[in-house]
Structure 1
Amino acid sequence: MTTEKLYRLNGVELCAETFGAPADPAILLIHGAGASMIWWDDRLCGRLAEHGRYVIRYDQRDTGRSTSYPVGAPQYAMSDLAADAAALLDALGVEQAHVIAQSMSGGIALILGVDHPDRVASLTIVSSSTGDEGLPPPVPTMPRVEAPDFGDRAAVEEYVVRAIEAEAAGQFDEASARALVRADLARTRDYEAAMTNHYAMTFDGPRHGGFGELTQPVLVIHGDADPLLPLPHGAAIRDAVPGARWLVMPGMGHGLSEPYWDAFVAAVLEHTR
């Protein structure tokens, strides 16, 4: 494992960290809306590295130690976040990577795969969606809670912990969730921006097509208990991508909780051979 490092790319600073040997096949991890790189757990990254993968995780704009924008005024589009990912690979000397994207960042993975196809060896899309009309909304049990007072650190911590619990569909470890949120709060430039700006950016798509134009091997992983993006969202990606592989995680919610790491690691190692 290396220490975190700031890279100046595309006019912004991105904080990244790597695990494993640079000579091994690269895996680029991209987490979902508002989530910094530490939402990809150190132990999970280490397990992939132990099996011969060069694992890269990073803070996207407005998360962690990367460049932050005024709250509600992000000066970028989703295609810019995809361009950041490609530029980070350049900075690390990685010609091509296996991209693993969670939730909202499935859209970033799509742009990478369609508009930067030479940089992508394969795609794994976890707990995401095509965004098509007619897909089911979040389940009724998902709480609708007002955003906290961001000047009250304890209130923010509690809000995010409870959000993790709601999305976990029963697979919830409070101690681990609270430790994650505290670490994230401690290292993030502006937590209100982190929880706001990804939802306020311009949601553009690939210039050269959609899911049907992906030519790389694609693995779609989805929990059948996902309360935020129910299972048909993942199935829509599977159906849109020719030849996509499909892995349903029984009982898993929206997050990739620890009880599912064994199955996740096994699937990713097989997919990235």
Structure 2
Amino acid sequence: MAERMIEVDGVELCTESFGDPSDPPVLLIMGTGASMLWWEEGFCRLLAAGGRRAIRYDHRDTGRSTTYAQGRPGYTGADLAGDALRVLNAYEIPAAHVVGVSAGGGMAQLLALERPDRVLSLVLISTSPAVSVDRELPPPTEEFMTFVSTAQADWSDTESVIDYLVDCARVLAGGRRPFDEAAARDLVRRDVERARDVAAATNHDVIDTGKLPEQPLSSIAVPTLVVHGTADPMFPLAHGEALAQEIPDARLLVLEGAGHGVERADWDAIAGAIVEHGAGDGTG
């Protein structure tokens, strides 16, 4: 499918859809710092084959969407969540099944809390509660924290950036499964070469979250599926378990040995779960 640029409220967002426009829509929200390419085309086509119209898009400061000067993002985390609605508006979609991974799962939660009329169902992958919960949650693994605190990239050097992002992907994979470095390097290189300004993605590390909803997660009323790997180094499994316990009637799908994100080994399981989950509300 061809990419489609949309402009809403002065913001340019690069989007792409897969599947029949008449099929139930699934909006895919990637984590911060990651373009829509991390919702890989093969995964999107699995959703389309399951009778879903999958829509992915580049966040601001990733891919081909609007970029800002490094270190000076002109938006908040709440604005990034609002971009999901801007995409739905541009496609003239009243409400969609919303799937978010990592921080994209946090944005999906905010949408369900603040605009439940636009959300048919939720799928939350490798993420954590977006609003505070009354329980202790474990920190990231020591290996992940060491990487975050010590690894660096020369953002003016393409090869340095690619090496850094591949190393990051390796750490996020969790270490319990073989890491396909060749596939990761191919994806990262395409992502880096496609970006307007790859260094701008670091703006996601310094943005203000914006005003968070006052409603608790227990007020989410849409059907919710939580998907979490047992080897997630950023948000250990207890984060997914907390979401499933806080959101009424949420289901939890545990992926043995999976790290953080949507790994190719889990495409069939995750895509199948998304299609099945969305079929339960009468929209397909």
Q: Specify the TM-score bucket, using the shorter chain as the normaliser.
A: over 0.9
What does 1:1-273 correspond to in 2, within 5 Å? 2-130=1-129, 132=132, 134-142=136-144, 143-144=146-147, 145-170=150-175, 171=177, 172-194=179-201, 196-207=202-213, 209-273=215-279
Q: After TM superposition, give the deviation of residue 271 of structure 1 in Å.
A: 0.4
Q: After TM superposition, give the deviation of residue 205 of structure 1 in Å.
A: 4.8
Equivalent-residue separation in structure 1 for 2:216 and 2:76 (angstroms) = 17
Deviation readout 1:208-231 (Å, 9 max, x if unpaired): 513121110011000011111111
Instruction: Say whether the 8 Å CA contact 2:16–2:56 is kept in structure 1.
Output: yes
Instruction: Say whether the 8 Å CA contact 2:12–2:65 is kept in structure 1.
Output: yes
Q: Secondary structure at the match of 1:101?
A: strand
Instruction: Say whether the 8 Å CA contact 1:10–1:84 is kept in structure 2.
Output: no
Alignment length, in residue pairs? 271
Deviation readout 1:32-87 (Å, 9 max, x if unpaired): 11000000010010011011100000001111000011112212122212221112
Equivalent-residue separation in structure 1 for 2:74 and 2:110 (angstroms) = 18
Identity of aligned residues (%): 45
Equivalent-residue separation in structure 2 for 1:207 and 1:85 (angstroms) = 16
Q: Secondary structure at the match of 1:141?
A: helix
Q: After TM superposition, give the deviation of residue 130 of structure 1 in Å.
A: 1.5
Letter matched to residue 154 of structure 1: E
User: What is the TM-score when the length of structure 1 is the normalising length?
Assistant: 0.95
Gaps of 5+ in 1: none
Gaps of 5+ in 2: 280-284
Equivalent-residue separation in structure 1 for 2:210 and 2:248 (angstroms) = 22
Deviation readout 1:73-114 (Å, 9 max, x if unpaired): 212122212221112111112111100000011221111111
Q: Secondary structure at the match of 2:100?
A: strand
Equivalent-residue separation in structure 1 for 2:124 and 2:261 (angstroms) = 12
User: What is the TM-score when the length of structure 2 is the normalising length?
Assistant: 0.92
Instruction: Say whether the 8 Å CA contact 1:107–1:205 is kept in structure 2.
Output: no
Instruction: Say whether the 8 Å CA contact 1:115–1:206 is kept in structure 2.
Output: no
Equivalent-residue separation in structure 2 for 1:10 and 1:156 (angstroms) = 31
